[in-house]
Amino acid sequence: MVFKLSVEFTPKWHTSMLKDLAGLIDELGFDTIWVSDHYHNRNVFIVLSVIASATHRAKIGPAVLSPYLHHPAYIAQSILTLADLAKGRVVCGIGAGDFLSLMQLGFERLNPVRVVRDALLSVRILLKGNALNVYSPAFKLINAKLNFGDQNNIPIYVGAQGDNMLKMAARLADGILVNFSDEDMLRYAYNLIYRTIADAGRNPSNIDVVAHTSVSISDDVSLAKKAALPYAAYILAGSSDTILERLDVSIEKASKIRSAILRMDLQEAKSFVEDEVDKFAIYGTSEQVAEKLLAIRSLGYEHIVIGSPIGPDLQKAVVLLNTEVLPRLKDEED
């Protein structure tokens, strides 16, 4: 299996900047450009459309769309429209979504495994232009059908952390975005996924199991850590109590970070996550980041996503990844 390195953008930066960076990433040979989806950032599909025009080789797609916010019919419609601009290069990520953002918009994240499963199966059918009826806790489809479809399979990935979501994804998804940066959590998830794949009788070579990490790379370690703090705070705040207990993070501290984020007090949130950041992000020099990613690859992951922030200087971080990190990871194939 050929090792793959991909990148995830958080579209808080100007779209023209993301377009230029996407063109660079495409030229450098990264596998996939994912774009995250949060209501407080730029629109994921408008950004992806711009990225489609700037790229010719890399796959592109959203990571991840929540069916609590995005009806599966509109997910399928948007993915197929994006495929008009990037034929054969579109992928789709679906997940329960950040429960804090959902809370701010008045949504309750009830029955997340069932809702994501129903959305995955619904989108897969709708993408092919077929009709279906679905009654799910978060959405309904009543003899719904798109007027256009694509008989070629557009891969659908599930973003997952919890055991039940990981197992559901292992049984049904084309790929799994395992949203951890901690080596022990990634090891646990990897073993659980492959046990489930075996139990389900699936061919593991047909499933793209991806370590979706949060990374910050810089020649200055302190700047790399500073850039990682807000992302680590959001990831910690969005983690379940079970995940936090496994990572030895107190529920009390998580509650304080969640409260600070809901009050839009990012400075306070960052102060609480300062001594926990290593559990939720990978940061440091290119050498330090390469060592940590090599450890993740040694677990069995042959595809790693470099998630936001990527680095305090985005363009420089992408160049460092290409010139100093990727060669170290590829050396493992020799």
pLDDT of amino acid 333: 59
Tell how far CA 163 is from the center of its chain.
17
Tally of domains in the chain: 1
Residue 97 lies in a domain: yes
Which value, to the nearest 10 degrees, does the dihedral of the CA atoms of residues 68, 134, 92, 329 take? 90
Residue 233 lies in a domain: no
Residue 151 lies in a domain: yes
204 prior amide bond cis, ω within 30 = no
Residue 262 lies in a domain: no
Q: Could you tell me the residue range of the domain that residue 103 belongs to? A: 4-220+282-331
Decide: 116 and 179 in contact? Cβ < 8 Å: no
pLDDT of amino acid 99: 87
pLDDT of amino acid 330: 80
CATH number assigned to the domain comprising residue 148: 3.20.20.30
Alpha helices, H only, 39-182? 44-54, 72-85, 99-104, 112-127, 163-172
Nearest Cα neighbor of 200 from 171, 243, 229 is 171
Rounded distance, CA 140 to CA 244, Å? 33
3-state helix, strand, coil in the chain (%, to 5): 50, 15, 30
pLDDT of amino acid 150: 78
pLDDT of amino acid 223: 98
Please give the model's pTM, rounded to 2 decimal places: 0.96
Q: For tokens 């069995």, name the residue.
A: 300
Decide: 163 and 192 in contact? Cβ < 8 Å: yes
Tokens standing for residue 286: 């290119």
**Measured CA angle at 65 (ends 62, 71), to 5 deg:** 125
Residue 252 lies in a domain: no
pLDDT tens digits, one per residue of 238-287 = 999 999 999 999 999 999 999 999 998 999 999 999 999 999 999 999 99
Residue 142 lies in a domain: yes
pLDDT of amino acid 6: 97
Residue 322 lies in a domain: yes
Orientation of helix 72-85 relative to helix 112-127, angle to 10°: 50
Residue 246 lies in a domain: no
At 306 the three-state DSSP class reads strand
pLDDT of amino acid 313: 95
Which residue ranges in the chain fall short of pLDDT 70? 332-334
CA-to-CA separations, 69 to 11, 28, 64, 150, 242, in angstroms, rounded: 18, 34, 11, 24, 25
Rounded distance, CA 277 to CA 236, Å? 9
